[in-house]
Amino acid sequence: MVLQTIREYDFSGKRALVRVDFNVPLKDGKVTDDTRIRAALPTIKYILDAGGSVVVMSHFGRPKGKRNLEFSMAPISKKFAELLGRPVGLASDVIGDDVTKEVKNLKSGEVLLLENVRFYPGEEKNDPEFAKQLSLFGDVYVNDAFGTAHRAHASTAGVAQYLPSYAGFLIEKEVKFMAPLLENPDKPFVAIIGGSKVSSKIGVLESLVNTCDTIVIGGGMAYTFLAVQGHTIGKSLVEEEFKDTASSFLAKAKEKGVEVILPVDHLCGAAFKEDTPAIAVDSVEIPQDLIGMDIGPKTVKLVVAAVEGAKSVVWNGPMGVFEFDAFAEGTLTVAKALAACKGITVVGGGDSVAAINKFDLADKISHVSTGGGASLEFLEGKVLPGIKALEK
């Protein structure tokens, strides 16, 4: 997958229409996590430094196709200006005559942030007419909204039909780290997949089994796999309707010679509660009245050993209920193993990234993806419409 990137365009005197993902958490009108805004700054600064002007667009929340100022970009524009270190104009709307004037007035080096693109139903419908109106605001289209790249919306995909289109640095980086995992990863390649459900991760398992040498299955989804192997899983999470899928996956992995690591011991709880004490179960078999809530120390050792020798590692999905302190150890130790690994390490998925941040290890990981759903779909081998539009 080769993308056309902003390095290949001369922005001098040009107006760039830049799609970013500023769908950040807000509390009492303040941005509580500015990671996504920071992630888009290199691209915007690059265009401004090259002598261009920038019209920025993003969605925020779910205004459902209506102008609802509860979802205005206003609080986000303040934080954006502060982080960019330059004034940012906030457009009066997304499209229309007023916005057209505001855009026309923009001079080289200036930035205008459009209102929430989801104020219009044409955005999520990928309406060609709406996309065309957006396209009139730029000489060139730049997409750096990796977190929304799995959606075929007007501002993420449709607009690329009307303008020369380039990937920003964030999308370039996401693809640079993730594409090789599906194509030709440095080996040995270890995939660590966890989280709550087989149903949401089976796609990524079935995709990565084609390129990886070892797959670790942890978290709540592991018990469905253990159950099909005939183990007792007590009251642990299980998806009965995915047992067949799980067993055919195990057969496929075996056929391909991919090693599968499943939990060999557990930390259990008597109830799914924050204050339930951890009970160590030093065997694969879980007693009838207990719930598996984290991988045990022997399993952790197996995972750490696999990661140690790996040249590439991808991790998606926590190993246990890490939100409860008594069941965070497995996830923490695996996160530390990735941080210590000398190979290429990639972490994707909302909760896994939250875990990495909670443990303050993000700067020791080669790449922490900014897109939960988008990174999952990417690793499933799906074509992301927002990225396809930028391919050479």
Helices then strands, counting H and E runs in the chain, come out as: 14, 17
From 128, 56, 42, select the one nearest 87 (Cα to Cα): 56
**How far is Cα 327 from Cα 309, in angstroms, rounded to an integer?**
26
Q: How far is the CB of 301 from Mg ion (least distance, A)?
A: 26
Q: Choose the contact partner of 318 out of Mg ion, ligand ADP, none; CB within 5 to 8 A by kind.
A: ligand ADP
Phi, psi of 52, rounded to the nearest 5 degrees: -95, 170
Q: How far is the CB of 295 from Mg ion (least distance, A)?
A: 18
Judged by CB under 5 A, the residue of 351, 365, 367, 375 near Mg ion is 351
Residues 167-206 that bind ligand ADP (CB under 6 A): 195-196, 200
**How far is Cα 167 from Cα 143, in angstroms, rounded to an integer?**
5
Angle, helices 35-49 vs 74-84, to 10°: value is: 60
Nearer to ligand ADP, 77 or 316 (CB): 316
Residues 27-66 that bind ligand ADP (CB under 6 A): none
Beta carbons of 246 and 206 less than 8 angstroms apart: no
DSSP of 188-229 = SEEEEE-SS-HHHHHHHHHHHTTT-SEEEE-STTHHHHHHHT
Q: Does 350 bind Mg ion (CB under 5 A)?
A: yes
Instruction: Give the CA radius of gyration of the chain.
Output: 23
Instruction: Using CB positions, name the residue nearest to ligand ADP.
Output: 195
**How far is Cα 225 from Cα 247, in angstroms, rounded to an integer?**
7
| Pattern 207-246, ligand ADP, x by CB under 6 A | ------------xx----------------x---------
Q: How far is the CB of 196 from Mg ion (least distance, A)?
A: 8
Q: Does 361 bind ligand ADP (CB under 6 A)?
A: no
Q: How far is the CB of 373 from ligand ADP (least distance, A)?
A: 9
Q: How far is the CB of 299 from ligand ADP (least distance, A)?
A: 12
Q: Does 352 bind ligand ADP (CB under 6 A)?
A: yes
**How far is Cα 97 from Cα 118, in angstroms, rounded to an integer?**
18
Residues with a known catalytic role? 36, 197, 350, 373
Structure tokens at 148: 């929304």
Residues 292-331 that bind ligand ADP (CB under 6 A): 292-293, 316-318, 320-321, 323
Binding site for ligand ADP (CB under 6 A): 195-196, 200, 219-220, 237, 292-293, 316-318, 320-321, 323, 349-352, 372
